[in-house]
Structure 1
Amino acid sequence: MTATVKSEQTRRLLIDSALSQFRTRGYAKTTMRSIAEAAGVSVGNAYYYFRSKDELVAELYRFLQDEHRSRSLPLLRDGQNLGEHLRLILLANLDIMGPYHDFGAHFMRTAMPPSSASGPSRRHGSGDEGVGRAKSIALFRQAVTVSRPQPPLAIRDDLPELLWLVHMGVTLFWIYDRSPGQRRSRRLVQNVAPLAAKLVILSRLPVVRNIVEDVVRLFQGARRDD
């Protein structure tokens, strides 16, 4: 067994042990020591891979986002309208995240970090700014690319990231949704997806286009300030 394979197996074991501990003990009562003991590794070894519980949650979130991308891409059909693509992507995310609703707030914190400070995930080659953000935006870019009709050129380049912000807004709603099976979140998706698509189509009209272009300029300016 190569060192790389063994390292990945240890990381996966720690993540699985953490998930089991979170479910049985709760996030607050779970410690890095209890995770290490459940995984059968030393505490020092656990801290080598992950400096905190939050970094373990971040790694789990990255795995879930990879699964979301893998599940969503085959659903994107050339010529299908943007609203349907958005609906399928958002619902797939709710399906995948559903079992982990109890610590969804930790997912949001790791998905949108206040800074890009290096951590163990960077030491081991992740290199992403924000957990899964680039891959998630790329998924929405693919949805835009294959959708028909195509959005206006004025917003086409920025639309994938704007849709990602819609996605994050739905995720935030889901975190605080206490309805059975988070059905209110699913109802929100059913309403938001066609509405977003309609706004994109209406942006072709002169009056709406001016408003949309103003929003895009504000978004671009805020992004440059980052």
Structure 2
Amino acid sequence: MTAKSGQTRQLVADVALRMFREVGFAKTTMRAIAAEAGVSVGNAYYYFASKDDLVQELYLQVQQEHAARALSAMENATDLSSRLRATLHAGLDSMAPYHRFGADFLTTAIRPTSPVNPFAAGSAAAREASLSIFRSAVEGARPAVPKKLRADLPELLWLGYMGVTLFWVYDTSEGQQRTRKLVDGGVPLIARVLSLARVPGVSKLLDDILSLSRSVRA
């Protein structure tokens, strides 16, 4: 892709994401995006075959912002609880501009066959970017997370984050404060359970949970 072509692609993406924030996903059309960007409709489709492709671009940009916010928020956070709390709040901050239209995106993404489903092959890059954020939170924690949990925990936390995101979409409280309370109350509980990983009886239970998790993800 030439420099000019790359600039045009970025322009189309920037216009589309701004329109998603301002008028919502459902009301944003490829024709309107092209008109606002000052390019032909055909040119817009050349870079993005559909609005679904632009949703993937949105996913990636939100993850990039989430990663930057989380890195800054975790700078002085050492234990897993504070790092996870910082990471989750950073994610909510990154998604905040799209809350008004969150249900529109969810309606599109929740279908198992949707190309913008978070678990779909087309979402792999954004999913991996999000997983990397949780890996960073886990790997940088002190005291260290028990070794047997380190490989699986980031993905389990990411799955939990998907649940938090769903709650956030339907949270009509001012500034989505109920979701913030869920994070603040839930994180210490997670950390408390993980702290018991070395206790023999609890350790066996966690082994069973990890085994079940691996079997359904295989």
TM-score (norm. length: structure 1): 0.84
- Pairing partner for 1:144 from 138, 146, 156: 138
Match of 2:152 among 158, 163, 172: 158
- Who is 1:182 aligned against? 176
Which residue matches 1:116? 121
Structure with higher RCO (Cα < 8 A, 6+ apart): 1
Partner in structure 2 of residue 122 of structure 1: none
Contact 1:137 1:160 in 2 (8 A): yes
Counterpart of 2:204 in structure 1 is 210
Q: Does the 8 Å CA contact 1:32/1:53 hold for their aligned counterparts?
A: yes
Indicate the RMSD between aligned Cα atoms, in angstroms. 2.1
Q: Paired residue for 1:172, among 147, 160, 166?
A: 166
State which of 60, 72, 78 in structure 1 corresponds to 2:58. Answer: 60
Range moving further from structure 2, 155-164 or 101-110: 101-110
Please give the alpha-carbon distance, in whole angstroms, between the structure 2 residues aligned to 1:25 and 1:146.
39
In structure 1, the gaps of 5 or more residues are 118-128
Matched, 1:28 2:17: no
Quote the offset at 1:135 in angstroms: 1.9
CA 1:53–1:102: 2 relative to 1, 3 Å: farther
The count of aligned residue pairs is: 210
8 Å contact 1:14–1:36 — kept in the other structure? yes
Q: Structure 2: which 5+ runs fail to align?
A: 110-115
Residue 61 of structure 1, CA deviation: 1.9
| Contact 1:79/1:146 (8 A) holds in 2 | no
Q: Give 1:111 deviation, angstroms.
A: 5.7
Give the Å deviation of 1:26: 3.5
Moved more, 51-60 or 24-33: 24-33
Summarize deviations over 1:83-136 as a string: whole Å, max 9, x none: 1000000001111110111333427823614x325xxxxxxxxxxx52421122
Moved over 6 A (4+): none
When structure 1 is superposed on structure 2, of 25-34 and 160-169 the one drifting more is: 25-34
